[in-house]
Amino acid sequence: MNPLVLAARESGNVLRSFWRNRSAAFFTILLPVMFLVLFGAINRDGTVQLAPGGPQIGYTTFFAPGMLAMAIMAGTFVALVIGLTVMRDNGQLKRLRGTPLPPWAFFSGQVVSRLVLVVVEAVLVLGLGRLLFKVSLPPTVAGWATFALVALLGAATFTALGVAFTRLVANADSAPALANAAYLPLLFLSGAWFPISGLPHWLASVAGDFPLAPMLDGLRQALIFGHGLGTIWPDIWKLLAWLAVGLLVALRTFRWERAA
């Protein structure tokens, strides 16, 4: 079996069942868009500063990448932690392990399908943001390329971390709570919703070490100022480091069966 065909089929299967499970599709795709429209409408003319002393930018231009980042983390990390522990607990993973399907093909299917969803989400958020609130788009080609790179690298990182995180989840029942315990605080502390200039310095710097903050920063720098890799390389390095950690832990500790 051609490896590419195998991976493509696996991702097709994931996507097909994703769209059929309405509530999951809603949570992943529509919730961020809904928030964008809602908060955008409430705060249409507001402005914020990314950093103290920085230029004033439109709130929706600040908020749109936040919602994209939220969608990326929900669609990769949260969805995988819940989805994989369910599959682990009910024996689906064990059954797959009993077929000749190579593990890398299974995981490629998981990753590629999530990346496809990220692209869909990015188009929706930027398109609607532009249409309704005149959200600014990357002013340069380098900005566009950087934006795409950060979004995909972030998605890959949160995919790897999601797989790795399943090792900490004892059973599928506790998966949503544990995933959200990581996801929701990070969303706020990393500044997906509001500028975090008011946070105590130590807290902001702790939050900044987690992968959501560099992804957000990279997305905003590219989207708002058209900055390229030359400017945001610290963000890229942080994401790459987390990606490496996630991959290493995932490869070493992933369990195909529920604990006895």
Partner 1 sequence: MLRTPKAPPSVRSGRDGPAIQARGLGMRYGDREVLCGIDLEVPHGMVVGFLGPNGAGKTTTVEILEGYRRRTAGEASVLGMDPAGGGPELRERIGIVLQETGHNPELTVRETVRQFTGYYRRPRPVDEVIGLVGLQEAAGRRVRALSGGQRRRLDVGLALVGDPELVFLDEPTTGFDPAARRQAWEVIAGLRELGKTVLLTTHYMDEAQALADRVAIIADGRIVAEGTPAQLAAAQHATRIRFSLPAGAGSADLPRVAGQVAVRGRTVELSTDDPTLDLLALCGWAAGRGAALGGLTVTRPSLEDIYLTLTSDKEVAA
Instruction: Say how many residues make up the chain.
Output: 260
Work out whether 97 is an interface residue with partner 1 (CB under 8 A). Answer: yes
Torsion angles phi and psi, residue 64, rounded to 5: -60, -50
SS3 56: strand
Long-range (24+ apart) CB contacts under 8 A made by 231-239 are 232/146, 232/150, 235/150, 236/149, 236/150, 236/153, 238/209, 238/211, 238/214, 239/150, 239/153, 239/154, 239/157, 239/211, 239/214, 239/215
Work out whether 13 is an interface residue with partner 1 (CB under 8 A). Answer: yes
Torsion angles phi and psi, residue 148, rounded to 5: -65, -40
| Cβ 259 to partner 1 shortest distance, Å | 13
Q: Which is nearer to partner 1, 94 or 167 (CB)?
A: 94
Work out whether 255 is an interface residue with partner 1 (CB under 8 A). Answer: no
Work out whether 171 is an interface residue with partner 1 (CB under 8 A). Answer: no
Q: Which is nearer to partner 1, 20 or 201 (CB)?
A: 20
SS3 137: coil
Q: Which is nearer to partner 1, 209 or 257 (CB)?
A: 257
Among the listed residues 3, 54, 55, 102, the single contact to partner 1 using CB under 8 A: 102
Place of tokens 């610290």: 234
Work out whether 134 is an interface residue with partner 1 (CB under 8 A). Answer: no
| Cβ 1 to partner 1 shortest distance, Å | 7
Work out whether 6 is an interface residue with partner 1 (CB under 8 A). Answer: yes
Chain residues that interact with partner 1, rule: CB under 8 A: 1, 5-6, 9-10, 13, 16-17, 20-21, 86-87, 89-92, 94-95, 97-102, 257
